[in-house]
């Protein structure tokens, strides 16, 4: 069965302030990498927009209205020191969330085995009522809730290997035993959350890594903390918050992963999904800001998805 790739030129239309690393060139680098011959077998679909009710699966109604109404007609408006909107941001962010939902629909319908969504802006820092860290809507949280509300999925596991802790995803599900959140990330680092002691209702599993940790340390943490937690939870769907900023080339952190480490983690997630979820995996792009490291890591990740 095939792997789905959801991406779209609309994701280039969210522009950022000069010097910000979460920029349209990220998607251009990924598109160039996935245009190579090994990826010809991907099923490719364009983006669809989430409506406001879908956004409210994970966000407060007042917050959705705030983002809708904050979009300026020209220039930028800052929502936090790192997160600025321009005229197209509201539309593009809704397409990022909607594309995550589309991937869930196709995977759970059985038309594809798994999916990768190459969308921006990313989502895992967005809290129920707060934009931060380049994120406006929490795509992974919306996807998980959509799987539960529209497809009857009872247990969703979200595995996050972005170098930054997904504070928004953790906060949204902190008291919800139907969603497991497991994260490897550098600590200390933005946003300052992600300690092992943060456990929710027994559904939160953080495996922080010290600055300078390499692929061996990452694999050890993933094997000791993430894999046993997901195994015990027995999810019916696995969502990956697939950030690639733990790559050694990335400018925003100091972990030392290589693309083969992301390939290894992908294989492990696929094995978890085979054991518990009929192989169903939806992977959503989060961070990754060195264009070469990002493109190579995404290629390694998607290549393993296609082998499943």
Place of tokens 């321009």: 86
User: Cα 271 vs. chain centroid, distance in angstroms?
Assistant: 19
Between CA 132 and CA 134 the distance in angstroms is 6
Copy the structure tokens of residue 203. Answer: 């559904």
pLDDT digits (tens, 9 = 90+) for 76-128: 999 999 999 999 999 999 999 999 999 999 999 999 999 999 999 999 999 99
Cα torsion 117, 57, 265, 280 to 10°: value is -80
Between CA 231 and CA 287 the distance in angstroms is 26
Place of tokens 């509201």: 90
Structural domains of the chain, with CATH: 3-307 (3.40.800.20)
Q: What is the mean pLDDT of the chain?
A: 98
Q: pLDDT at position 141, please? A: 99
pTM: 0.98
Q: Do strands 179-186 and 77-80 pair parallel, antiparallel, or not at all (unpaired)? A: unpaired
**Contact 113/2 with Cβ under 8 angstroms?**
yes
Between CA 125 and CA 135 the distance in angstroms is 6
Other beta carbons less than 10 A from residue 88's beta carbon: 15
Residue 102 host element (H or E): helix 89-109
* Helices of type H across 122-241: 139-151, 167-172, 215-221, 227-233
Q: pLDDT at position 250, please? A: 98
Other beta carbons less than 10 A from residue 211's beta carbon: 12
Q: pLDDT at position 131, please? A: 98
Please compute the mean of the pLDDT values over residues 210-216 and round it to a whole number: 98
Between CA 60 and CA 241 the distance in angstroms is 22
Closest among 51, 119, 158, 118 to 298, alpha carbons compared: 118
What is the chain's alpha carbon radius of gyration, rounded to the nearest angstrom? 17
Closest among 289, 291, 20 to 162, alpha carbons compared: 289
Active-site annotation holds for 125: yes
pLDDT digits (tens, 9 = 90+) for 152-209: 999 999 999 999 999 999 999 999 999 999 999 999 999 999 999 999 999 999 999 9
pLDDT digits (tens, 9 = 90+) for 2-24: 999 999 999 999 999 999 999 99
Contacts of 80 (CB under 8 A, 6+ apart): 130, 131, 132, 133
Closest among 237, 210, 232 to 221, alpha carbons compared: 210
Q: pLDDT at position 274, please? A: 98
Between CA 172 and CA 168 the distance in angstroms is 6
**Contact 279/269 with Cβ under 8 angstroms?**
no
Closest among 237, 254, 249, 168 to 204, alpha carbons compared: 168
pLDDT digits (tens, 9 = 90+) for 229-247: 999 999 999 999 999 999 9
Q: pLDDT at position 138, please? A: 99
Please compute the mean of the pLDDT values over residues 214-221 and round it to a whole number: 98
Residue from 125, 146, 247, 276 carrying the catalytic annotation: 125
């Amino acid at each position: 069965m095939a792997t789905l790739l959801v991406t779209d030129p609309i994701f280039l239309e969210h522009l950022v302030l000069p010097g910000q690393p979460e920029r349209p060139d990220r998607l251009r680098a990924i598109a160039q990498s996935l245009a190579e011959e090994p990826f010809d077998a991907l099923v490719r679909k364009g983006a669809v927009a989430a409506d406001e009710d879908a956004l409210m699966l994970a966000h407060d109604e007042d917050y959705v209205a705030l983002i809708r109404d904050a979009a300026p007609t020209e220039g930028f408006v800052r929502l936090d020191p790192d997160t600025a909107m321009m005229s197209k941001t509201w539309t593009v962010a809704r397409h990022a969330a909607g594309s995550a939902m589309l991937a869930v629909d196709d995977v759970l319908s059985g038309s594809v085995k798994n999916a990768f969504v190459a969308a921006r802006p990313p989502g895992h820092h967005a809290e129920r009522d707060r934009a931060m860290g380049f994120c406006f809507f929490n795509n992974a949280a919306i996807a998980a809730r959509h799987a539960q509300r529209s497809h009857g999925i009872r247990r969703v596991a979200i595995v996050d290997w972005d170098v930054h802790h997904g504070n928004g995803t953790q906060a949204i599900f902190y008291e919800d035993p139907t969603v497991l959140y497991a994260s490897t990330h550098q600590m200390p680092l933005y946003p300052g959350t992600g300690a092992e002691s943060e456990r929710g209702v027994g559904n939160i599993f953080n495996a922080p890594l010290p600055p300078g940790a390499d692929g061996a340390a990452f694999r050890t943490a993933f094997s000791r903390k993430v894999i046993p937690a997901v195994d015990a939870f027995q999810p019916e769907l696995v969502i990956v918050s697939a950030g690639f900023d733990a790559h050694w080339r990335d400018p925003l952190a100091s972990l030392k992963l290589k693309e083969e480490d992301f390939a290894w983690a992908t294989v492990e997630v696929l094995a978890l999904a085979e054991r518990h979820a009929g192989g169903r995996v939806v992977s959503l792009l989060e961070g990754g800001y060195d264009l070469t490291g990002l493109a190579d890591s995404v290629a390694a990740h998607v290549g393993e998805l296609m082998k499943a």
